[in-house]
Structure 1
Amino acid sequence: MGEPAELAEWVALIDACLAPVATRSVDLTDPDWVRKMQEAPHPLDEAGIRPEAEAALRDVLTRYTEGDDDVRAGLRALLDRCPHFSWATTLPLEPTPEGFRQRLLEISVEDQGQDTRDMMVGLHDLCGRARDAGVDIRPLLLDVAGLSSDVDRYGMGSTRHILLRAAGREPCGLW
């Protein structure tokens, strides 16, 4: 499907390391549960795999950007099979055009993840941060939309459609 076996194995291993953290139950009856969650270490740090996870994501994004449609579809499928990796792994946001493009690529390869609404909220926040940093995000949205899926996974539009819609309105065209 366009995903190299070694990268798929690497991402799957990271996903398995993150599963206990991602699936751990939260005692919502504990009045301090929110504070405990906020004070807990980042899942990548708790699992002790931040450098490996970030390196894997960089590899995914490089292949996603440089690959053809089949490679990109394979990488989307890989991250769909590895939801814990997608949930916990992101690269530090640099407030530059390339930094925002990188984050848009993460959104694109995750292809709405488990919930389009979460993706749209994250995209809206990203557009606001870009605007606050003085970055013209419209050309970045159009560029990454060209790499994105046309599949409407959850009945709210494809990732490509959502990115194109965001490029067409201010501040981010999602609402």
Structure 2
Amino acid sequence: MTELADLEERVALIDLRIEPIATRPVDLTDPDWARKVEEGPRPLDEAGIRPEAEAALREVLSRYEEGGEDVRAALRALLARCHSFCWATTLPLELTAKGFRQRLLEMSVEDQGRDARDLMVALNALCGQARDAGVDIGPLLLDVAELSSDVDRYAMGSTRDVLLRAARRRPVGLW
């Protein structure tokens, strides 16, 4: 089995373990639903798989960054299939250049997920936090844009387009 196939299998298995938590109904009629979700255990902790999930994501990001376009396309396709993994797994945010770039790589490999608007909202917030922390975000946005897909999946621009707009310091929404 190739190393990439091994990684794909590990991510798929983590996705299966987290799916029951990710798809569990939330009773929105309960006035305390938001507090219960916020105060409840984090999904990876509840499933008891945080170390494995974070290690798999680190490997995905490393291969994404170092691989050619064929590897990046394969990793984007993997995460498109593994919705629960994407929903639950992220690395801790460090408001440094390295931490900002890492989060951009996560966004790039997820390639807008199920809704481009989620990427746009998250990217606007992330850029604001990083700027406030003194991170020079422009070069990092341009760098990760080069690794990103140029496929316009939702008629709102490709991930590359969204990152390039953010690098030009324009809001990345539709306005």
Q: How does the TM-score come out when normalised to structure 2?
A: 0.96
Please give the alpha-carbon distance, in whole angstroms, between the structure 2 residues aligned to 1:174 and 1:155. 13
The Cα RMSD (Å) is 1.2
1:109 aligns with 2:109: yes
Deviation string, structure 1 residues 126-147 (Cα, Å, up to 9, x no partner): 1011011100100000000000
Deviation string, structure 1 residues 107-160 (Cα, Å, up to 9, x no partner): 000000011001111000110110111001000000000000000011100000
Please give the alpha-carbon distance, in whole angstroms, between the structure 2 residues aligned to 1:36 and 1:25. 13
Please give the alpha-carbon distance, in whole angstroms, between the structure 1 residues aligned to 2:171 and 2:37. 32
Q: What pairs up with 1:163-174 in 2 under 5 angstroms?
A: 163-169=163-169, 172-174=170-172
Determine helix, strand or coil for the equivalent of 1:95.
Answer: coil
Q: Which runs of 5+ in 2 are unaligned?
A: none
Please give the alpha-carbon distance, in whole angstroms, between the structure 1 residues aligned to 2:158 and 2:92. 26
Q: What pairs up with 1:114-133 in 2 under 5 angstroms?
A: 114-133=114-133
1:35 deviates by: 1.0
Deviation string, structure 1 residues 69-108 (Cα, Å, up to 9, x no partner): 0000000000000010011100011111011000000000
Determine helix, strand or coil for the equivalent of 2:160.
Answer: helix
1:79 aligns with 2:79: yes
Please give the alpha-carbon distance, in whole angstroms, between the structure 1 residues aligned to 2:104 and 2:55. 17
Work out the number of aligned pairs and report it. Answer: 172
Structure 1 pair 119/3, CA: closer, same or farther in 2 (3 Å)?
Answer: farther
Q: What pairs up with 1:42-61 in 2 under 5 angstroms?
A: 42-61=42-61
Maintained 8 Å contact 1:3/1:74: no
1:173 deviates by: 2.8
1:27 aligns with 2:27: yes
Q: What pairs up with 1:148-159 in 2 under 5 angstroms?
A: 148-159=148-159
Please give the alpha-carbon distance, in whole angstroms, between the structure 2 residues aligned to 1:30 and 1:168. 43
Maintained 8 Å contact 1:96/1:135: yes
Maintained 8 Å contact 1:167/1:173: no
Q: Which runs of 5+ in 1 are unaligned?
A: none
Maintained 8 Å contact 1:7/1:56: yes
Q: What amino acid maps onto 2:34 in structure 1?
A: V
Determine helix, strand or coil for the equivalent of 1:108.
Answer: helix
Q: How does the TM-score come out when normalised to structure 1?
A: 0.96
Query: Which runs of at least 4 in structure 1 moved beyond 6 Å after TM superposition?
Result: none
Maintained 8 Å contact 1:64/1:109: yes
Determine helix, strand or coil for the equivalent of 1:146.
Answer: helix
